[in-house]
Structure 1
């Protein structure tokens, strides 16, 4: 019996060593305008922190692999670094066919993310389908995606301007240059709280677009191996069953608010 237990322990240890044999450090980046999932740390601006970084750290910690959240610029720039292999992973991305050409997605998604149509308070308009946005100018982040179906519809029928930050998109909407902003609900509300827009905006209740948020590996990363992808997939399934992402959302929302409160800026 002891011999079988030792053999089992050896197999587990060997598998873990083999799984991360050629990868000791993973650099992950992503959308820095995505609290509480991901944002630029105020104390160390070169770092990204949030739910997705901690999930990766917990997933790879038992393999002895260090995960670093790295700020490389805006969301468009982050995607570019995944394309050229400057980083190993994106710590949260929706699936698009174009992104599949330079990244491998790890399934299942680590969480579902609702996106909505934000408008200025008192300026809501009748909305029952995406067709109601036709003829109206909108705003969002540069190179942002809201799932293949909406992206295709938007490219064919809508006028949506991509800008560098959601605060900028809100400001353009407040100035009357755009009629609406499409963005993730929780992230948009979190950013609005610290940019002075929380009491000035609302979102259309019927406009929710639910999409899965996935971890991705750059196809050019040396850490992108079948074993590590399978390991992360197993961990993601375990984490979601335990509802760990939901627990971490609460934890990091408090950290985000503390970092961006008026007293923290003094």
Structure 2
């Protein structure tokens, strides 16, 4: 074999990893998530088959820089959306809580897309003094059934706190204003949005020290055709860069 043939062979072998990587890059992601979690995610009133919100905007921004097309679609309530991704019918969840069970079917992208500060909300005229979770012992609170706490805090709350589950944050805040509970556990921005919508922002106080900080992660289905190292690595890089860039 002459030198030129050897050179072409070596060049071809060197290009194989690059060609494989290019071929493996995902060009389109079908994404879903919870349809009732403003300001992060909710159904688009103008196009109810799609979801909009801060989380969708962040992913669209990251994906555009990677040259990937993204569709954020409504797949039903939260449990239905999770099933669509677990089974691989959709590629990714936008707002997956990190759980041991989830690791069986999902690859989580670190760091989280959003870290959701859960605060203690009281009426402004409340005598309840809150600095640590221990201060809530002996007091009755409320929590939306849609809340997604960390597994460790959820276990603590079930053992140590008295919380009345409510269908949603609106009902929890109504219980608080009526004096039927002494505090509400709610996400910082979800609480702000709900209080403003209900016109009760001036009646409530959100204590600044978070009681829990669950992360909401991008999570790719094990069965997604797009679940490959290049995509996971690039998304992890973008999730690291976005907070630093503001």
TM-score, normalised by the number of residues in structure 1: 0.73
Give the match for residue 29 of structure 1: 33
| 1:222–1:18 CA distance, 2 compared to 1 (3 A) | closer
The 5-angstrom pairing of residues 162-173 of structure 1 reads 162-173=165-176
SS of residue matched to 1:109: coil
Question: What residue ranges of structure 2 are gaps of 5+ in the alignment?
Answer: 1-15
| Aligned mates of 1:162, 1:86 — CA distance in 2 | 32
Over aligned residue pairs, what C-alpha RMSD do you find? 3.1
Greater displacement, 63-72 / 152-161: 63-72
For 1:26, what is the secondary structure of its paired residue?
strand
Shift of 1:102: 3.4
Q: Which runs of 4+ in 1 moved over 6 A?
A: 10-14
- Which residue pairs with 1:144 in the alignment? 147
Q: Contact between 1:128 and 1:207, CA under 8 Å: does it hold in 2?
A: no
Kept in 1, the 8 Å contact 2:41–2:55? The answer is yes
Match in the other structure for 2:181: 178
Aligned to 1:51: 54
Structure-to-structure mapping, 1:237-256, within 5 angstroms: 237-243=240-246
How do residues 103-252 of structure 1 correspond to structure 2 at under 5 angstroms? Answer: 103-243=106-246
Offset at residue 40 of structure 1 (A): 2.7
Higher Cα Rg, which structure: 2
**Which residue in the other structure is 1:18 paired with?**
24
Measure the CA separation in 1 of the matches of 2:189 and 2:208.
14
Q: 1:99 to 1:39 in 2, by over 3 A?
A: same
Structure 1 residue 211: deviation in Å? 4.1
| Aligned mates of 1:68, 1:59 — CA distance in 2 | 13
Unaligned runs of 5+ in 1: 1-9, 244-266
Q: CA deviation at 1:14?
A: 6.6
Q: Which secondary structure does the structure 2 equivalent of 1:100 belong to? A: helix
Shifted more, 44-53 versus 206-215: the winner is 206-215
TM-score normalized by the length of structure 2: 0.78
Query: Structure 1 residues 158 and 83, CA, compared in 2 at 3 Å: closer, same or farther?
Result: farther
State the 1:147 CA deviation. Answer: 2.2
The number of aligned residues is 233
* Separation in structure 2 between the aligned mates of residue 82 and residue 141 of structure 1, nearest angstrom: 24
